[in-house]
Amino acid sequence: MADQLLILDFGSQYTQLIARRVRELNVYCEIHPFDKIPTLGPNVRGVILSGSPCSVRQPDAPRPDLSALLGRLPVLGVCYGAQLLAHEHGGEVAPALTREYGRARLDTVDAADPLLDGISPGSVVWMSHGDTITRAPEGFRPIAGTEAVAVAAYRVDGQATWGIQFHPEVTHSEDGKTLLANFVYTICGCAPDWTPAHFVTQTVDELRAKIGADTVLLGLSGGVDSSVAALLLHRAIGARLRCIFVDNGLLRHDEFGGVLHSYQDVGLNVTGVDARAEFYGALTGLTDPEAKRKAIGRTFIEVFDREAHKVGADAKWLAQGTIYPDVIESVSVNGPSVTIKSHHNVGGLPERMHLKIVEPLRALFKDEVRRVGAELGLPPLILHRHPFPGPGLGIRILGEVTPEKVAILQQADRIFIDHLRRHDLYQQVWQAGAVLLPVQTVGVMGDERTYERVVALRAVTSVDGMTADWAHLPYTFLADVSNAIINQVKGVNRVVYDISSKPPATIEWE
């Protein structure tokens, strides 16, 4: 069983980032709410306490009982976690005279402390706190400070407990990875054996034991998550995995045939279903984004259910491409997020079809899914493609969806993506696509007046899609794309580029 770290989440926006940084060190870790501390197995080597939007001075601030952890396992408190430990042991936490947000420099460093090995005075760290530890408790020995914060880091005498008021998990902290490596490897004694190959071997064994001789159904989307889940299951149970790939008429240009062949080339037992007419019929007359999403989701369930029944009674399981951020969100400290937009999955199918759920990727972040996919030999066409929304082009056509509009958008999107690849820009952006706007504008073509459609191009840089910045593509490139779309796509006479970041905008327009 692999070594593991436990991260207790107090609601920080950086908690997932802590987990990802630990995983990058090839050590497995899990996030749990502060008030739901799991039973500690023998493979748990240490605990990290996250930051929080709360102040330890608030009457309702989260204060879990950590007595079972302190002194038994190495503990690292980050920001709120550090302040909580100090506050609970008689120290003083007060509003900072100078609120520290952003970069700061360590001007004192105890280089002999194992947490700070390899970190020197002058190292830049990232601060994000309004409170600060103004008096450390007895036995809490300061080991680093900045000009504004005397106790930027401390060590508790007599036990393997540390606290830091900065965030080593963000890239702005120059030696953040070094500090985390010191804690994970040197202090906790973890072995770096959380690798894609280890995950594949362990997961395949678990899937075989769990599924037995049953058949599993999986709805392929053409995306990396469902594809990697399929390859894991295929390695575990072979042809007893029955995949269904539905053409909803809202895919990218020529995607259905190309992806279907890629699946068959890697040996998947996959059935392709042309259901374009059903989806277009369900979308007729709908203009509201949520109504369109629900119609697409409902139709998918109907089509999938019909095709699944052709498999027979041997199917006992439904596989889903759920990944770790989805799991974390379902048990978040702050409860379910406000619905910005509904997400397209196979919701409703397990109950309707009386199937059990299997989720091979529920322990992985998105970047880990891609590394596992590479280990499994997933074709580059799928492995490195940009994320694509479940409802497809249905939410990139503002207003009613019709086959004519889909054809226009598919052509424009193809030209945009082809140009990104041709100019070696595709891998520099996280997601890109075209949007068909519900407006027409006046233009001039061949000395004749036109009144045709507008296409908006959207390209963003991001790590996980939670936040995103618009991609600063070269002007000459955008000019070439605009010219190609207007010349080659009949019915379009204007192209615009979206320069909105997330937040406040979302990546998709609907």
Catalytic (active-site) positions: 79, 167, 169
Radius of gyration over every alpha carbon of the chain, rounded to an integer in angstroms: 26
∠ CA 268-270-273 to the nearest 5 degrees? Answer: 160
3-state secondary structure of 152: coil
Q: Is 340 exposed, middle or buried (0-12, 13-18, 19+ CB in 10 A)?
A: exposed
Enumerate residues 6+ apart whose C-beta is below 8 A from 145: 106, 107, 108, 151, 152, 153
CA distances from 107 to 119, 141, 181, 336, 498 (A): 11, 16, 21, 41, 43
Helix ranges (DSSP H) in 139-274:
176-181, 196-211, 224-237, 255-265
Is the Cβ–Cβ distance between 458 and 433 less than 8 Å? yes
CA separation for the pair 297, 176 (Å, rounded): 43
Q: Give 192-195's long-range contacts (Cβ < 8 A, gap of 24+).
A: 192/25, 192/26, 192/27, 193/2, 193/3, 193/26, 193/27, 194/2, 194/23, 194/26, 194/27, 194/28, 195/26
CA separation for the pair 308, 286 (Å, rounded): 28
Sheet with 241-247: list strands edge to edge: 270-274, 241-247, 215-220, 315-319, 356-358
Rounded to 10°, the helix 276-283/289-309 angle is: 150
Among 403, 401, 431, which residue's Cα sits nearest to residue 417?
431
Strand 448-461 with 161-164, pairing? unpaired
Q: Which amino acid is at 9?
A: D
Sheet with 161-164: list strands edge to edge: 28-33, 4-9, 44-49, 75-78, 161-164, 153-156, 140-146, 92-109, 124-135
Enumerate residues 6+ apart whose C-beta is below 8 A from 72: none
Taken as a whole, the chain contains a residue count of 510
Q: Which residue has 């999403």 as its token pair? A: 293
Enumerate residues 6+ apart whose C-beta is below 8 A from 230: 218, 220, 241, 243, 263, 268, 319
CA distances from 225 to 115, 202, 322, 330, 407 (A): 36, 18, 8, 18, 26
Enumerate residues 6+ apart whose C-beta is below 8 A from 338: none
Phi, psi of 330 (to 5 degrees): -70, -20
